[in-house]
Amino acid sequence: MKAQTITFLIKCPDRKGLVAKITNFFYEDGFNILSCQQYVNAIQNTYFMRVRLNAEGTEISKNDLESRFTKLAKPLNIVWSVNYEENKSNVAILVSHTSHCLYDLLERQKEGNLNCNIKMIISNHDKLRPIADMFNIPYYYLPVDSNSKITQELQIMELLDSNKIDLIVMARYMQILSSDFINHYKERIINIHHSFLPAFQGANPYKRAYERGVKLIGATAHYATEDLDEGPIIEQDVERVTHESTPQTLKRIGADIERLVLAKAVKCHLQNQIIVANNRAIVFPEAGE
């Protein structure tokens, strides 16, 4: 096998001897274990592992590795996935009017801080095309209204599937996705929103937050599910504010937090740090990467 880093994500019922069985499997095939992170949910008796391997010097093929691991996994009821470093993820970004998250993601990817290929930007408005042109990313303007929603989503899905998109990032895309769309890309759509939800919904949450005199504002990044804004949470952050903060100040601080939270969530996904279980995201920290 080509010298590269391989990441396995593992989920199964907890039992004695799991670490020994799994790590010994990789040892016998000549892999060097770079890191092995574990978490046990004692309430649900579930074991989670993220293990990173160095494949240098191994002679086993990918097909043989996955076939042999399947034989190990079946009697242990292991649900697993594997990612090979050489396979860089293809990403699509969905946006509407707001540019701060879009620009931040593009800049991070250009500087090498997000290991992916940003293949396209899709928007229901044409406003942000100049940013796409600046970074030489294809921009698709697909307007939508109540009468064209189904057609527009089908157009988006055709673009995503024909370009083999692995991850969809809703960087302030202000449209509600259908259940069919979300289920087609399960655990592959990341959304960002302010953390006032379920309070202060609607078009001007910062004005209403100001009127209530909030003392904390923040942002949440999560996987999109059929239940609006209730998918597995990947990352959150908050910042304290005071009575002196104006609606404009709150909005600016909120935008800064959204940038950081969304970028971290996307990076965690791209680095295979996340296992979803029962609408909870188990997010392993970076391990020497």
* Residue bearing tokens 């609606």: 247
- Model confidence at 56: pLDDT above 80: yes
Q: From start to end of 21-78, where are the E strands?
A: 32-41, 46-54
- Model confidence at 170: pLDDT above 60: yes
Are 102 and 131 in contact, with CB atoms under 8 Å apart?
yes
What pLDDT was estimated at residue 228?
82
Bridge pairing between strands 167-170 and 89-95: parallel
- Model confidence at 211: pLDDT above 80: yes
Q: Residues in the chain, how many? A: 289
For 5-84, the fitting CATH number among 1.20.1260.10, 1.10.10.10, 3.30.70.260, 3.40.50.80 is: 3.30.70.260
Specify the DSSP element, H or E, that contains 283.
Answer: strand 280-283
Return the CATH fold of 89-283: Rossmann fold (3.40.50)
CA dihedral of residues 254, 262, 48, 27 (deg, nearest 10) = -140
Locate 90 and state its tokens.
């293809």
Interval 45-51 mean pLDDT: 98
- Identify which of 98, 6, 92, 104 has the alpha carbon closest to the alpha carbon of residue 54: 6
Percent of the chain at pLDDT above 90? 88
Task: Determine the Cα–Cα distance for residues 152 and 251; give it in Å rounded to an integer.
Answer: 30
What pLDDT was estimated at residue 120?
98
Bridge pairing between strands 32-41 and 46-54: antiparallel
Are 22 and 46 in contact, with CB atoms under 8 Å apart?
no
SS3 for 232-263 is: CEEEEEEEECCCCCCHHHHHHHHHHHHHHHHH
The model's confidence at residue 146, banded by pLDDT at 50, 70 and 90, is confident
End-to-end C-alpha distance for the chain, whole angstroms: 21
- Model confidence at 103: pLDDT above 90: yes
Mean pLDDT score of the chain, rounded to an integer?
A: 94
- Model confidence at 208: pLDDT above 90: no
Domains 5-84 and 89-283 share a fold: no
Q: Which residues does the annotation mark as catalytic? A: 229
What pLDDT was estimated at residue 52?
97
The model's confidence at residue 288, banded by pLDDT at 50, 70 and 90, is low
Tell me the backbone φ, ψ of residue 184, rounded to 5 degrees: -70, -25
Write the CA distances from 243 to 78, 208, 218, integer angstroms: 51, 13, 16
Task: Determine the Cα–Cα distance for residues 185 and 182; give it in Å rounded to an integer.
Answer: 5
What 247-255 contacts at long range (C-beta under 8 Å, 24+ apart), as own/partner pairs, is 247/204, 247/206, 247/207, 247/209, 247/210, 248/206, 250/206, 250/209, 250/210, 250/214, 250/217, 251/206, 253/217, 254/194, 254/206, 254/217, 254/218, 254/219, 255/98, 255/100
What pLDDT was estimated at residue 289?
52
Task: Determine the Cα–Cα distance for residues 9 and 275; give it in Å rounded to an integer.
Answer: 7
Domain layout of the chain by residue ranges = 5-84, 89-283
- Beta-carbon count within 10 A of 26 CB: 19
Specify the pTM. 0.95
